[in-house]
Chains A and B, each alone.
Chain A
Amino acid sequence: MQVPARFEYEKATSVPHALALLERYGPDARVVAGGHSLIPMMKLRLAQPEALIDINDLRELAHLRVEGGELAVGALVRHAELLASPLVAEHFAILIDAERVIADPVVRNRGTVGGSLCQADPSEDLAAAFAALKADAVVTGPGGSRTVPLRGFHQGPYETVVEPGELLAELRVPVRHGAGSAYEKVERRVGDWPVAAAGALILIEDGLITEAGIGLTAVSAPGFTAPEAEDYLIGREPVDAVFAEAGRRAAAVCNPHADQRGPADYKRHLAGELTRRALRKAARRAAED
């Protein structure tokens, strides 16, 4: 039987209350959202926080709306809520594609967007999806809020720019009219973490690509992205040969490790091929708009 080590538990009733609790308990306190990454780690004693600050009652972190030309996704939005949102479906097909293949419906009822990104698992699907969308993360602390590009949010496996005493409050994604997006993942079985996955965003104007975003996960792409492949796409025609070349360039920045999900070469191959497929699907969707 797996049992976490002892800890203190506090239920936060507001964001300022959560921040005050984090300050009171110091660096050994951890926030708990859905708990679907943290509680398993505590059961295995890979994490032993001295205090848990439960943020599940903070409805002010559970918003999902378009404001000022941006989609705002509160950190406490559950996977299931993102997947069911008509607003998200209308503007960001990539997020729907990704959510459909994250874990299973029961886990998605509990796990949150903020928890996923803060967990900073090197195979996190949403890290790649939001990196492709060039999202910003809003981090709140005792001194107020700061905005960090998602591509600079992760500092390495299981490390983010969120300091002890701070919270991830929301993600902000610009709504680009006419853009298309998509997410492609290969997993060993339904509901598993990716062997590799790629997300793409594409904007086409007058027959040429004017904006591109690529996100990659589980393949150790720095910042979960491939800027060189994105630059290559700008000004080119949205055709398969171009997408294939972008895929090759994306694969070149990856540094995958062999593990139980597959050998490094296979993962690198997938990074390129899935980038190509995601770009192709995103371009088709952009054309449909």
Chain B
Amino acid sequence: MQITVTVNDQPYTREVEPRLLLVHFLRDELGLTGTHWGCDTSNCGACVVQIDAVPVKSCTMLAVMADGHHVTTVEGLEKNGELDPVQKGFTECHGLQCGFCTPGMMLTARWLLDNNPDPDESEIREAISGQLCRCTGYENIVRSVRWAAEHTCTPEVSA
């Protein structure tokens, strides 16, 4: 069936089988391989993307269910050539080693900060508790998200 999904602000219309999972639509149909695919069982969170600004596990959603919705993947975090503060935080604080979990972690972190601009450590750990990292031991991920919170300039009202 034909679907139109807006991914990182760009609409894509494709003919897909209803059984195609969103993660494979993004990776194989659109070539957006920043979204990773790990456990396939909704446990690891490597496949997390945002649907209408809310993180979901894209291995457990059909592409047809995203028809008419807005999807943000890691490729869409950067705006006007500027990395998102979350991306800068991961760079500054060594928030990744192999990078497999990183796109999902960053999309959940973005959502957390959108709703809670100054989260404490336990709130960050709770937000990412459905996502596994086998490298960092989470310490540096928490630091990276804190860095982003501290380095997000609130838009100033210009005179």
Contact = CB atoms under 8 A, between A and B. Distances in A.
B29 interface: no
Nearest to A78: B54
Contacts of A4: 19
Interface in B86-135: 108, 126-127, 129-131
Interface string A92-104: 0000000000011
B85 interface: no
Given A2-B40, A43-B40, A52 B18 contact: yes
B149 interface: no
9 contacts: A2-B41, A8-B18, A9-B18, A39-B61, A105-B127, A106-B131, A109-B55, A110-B57, A191-B130
A278 to B, nearest CB: 22
A36 interface: yes
A106 B108 contact: yes
B56 A106 contact: yes
A106 B45 contact: yes
Nearest to B56: A110
Contact of A36 (B21, B40, B42): B42
A40 B56 contact: no
Nearest to A108: B130
Nearest to A56: B65
A46 interface: no
B48 interface: yes
Given A40-B41, A106-B108, 17 more contacts: A9-B18, A11-B64, A11-B67, A35-B60, A35-B65, A36-B57, A40-B42, A40-B60, A52-B18, A104-B45, A104-B129, A104-B131, A105-B129, A106-B55, A107-B130, A109-B56, A110-B56
A106 B130 CA distance: 6
Contacts of B67: 11
A105 B42 CA distance: 12
A109 B54 contact: yes
A158 interface: no
A5 B19 contact: yes
A42 B127 CA distance: 28
Contacts of A36: 42, 57, 60
A241 interface: no
B61 A105 contact: no
A19 B41 CA distance: 30
Q: How large is the interface on A (under 10, 10 to 19, 20 to 34, 35 or more residues)?
A: 20 to 34
A36 B42 CA distance: 8
A4 B19 CA distance: 6
B36 to A, nearest CB: 14
Contacts, number: 73
Q: How large is the interface on B (under 10, 10 to 19, 20 to 34, 35 or more residues)?
A: 20 to 34
B62 interface: yes
B5 to A, nearest CB: 14
A173 B65 CA distance: 31
B62 A105 contact: no
Interface string B3-18: 0000000000000011
Contact of A107 (B40, B57, B65, B127): B57
B17 to A, nearest CB: 7
Interface in A169-210: 190-191
B19 A7 contact: yes
Contacts of A24: none
A54 interface: yes
A31 to B, nearest CB: 13
A104 B39 CA distance: 16
B1 to A, nearest CB: 7
Given A3-B19, A6-B17, A36-B42, A110 B60 contact: yes
Please name the 5 residue pairs, one residue from A and one from B, whose CB atoms are nearest each other, closest first.
A104-B130, A9-B18, A106-B130, A4-B19, A104-B129
B19 A6 contact: yes
Contacts of B40: 1-2, 43
A277 B131 CA distance: 30
Nearest to B115: A84
Task: Choose among A3, A5, A35, A39 the residue with the greatest number of B CB atoms under 10 Å from its CB.
Answer: A39
Contacts of A35: 60-62, 65
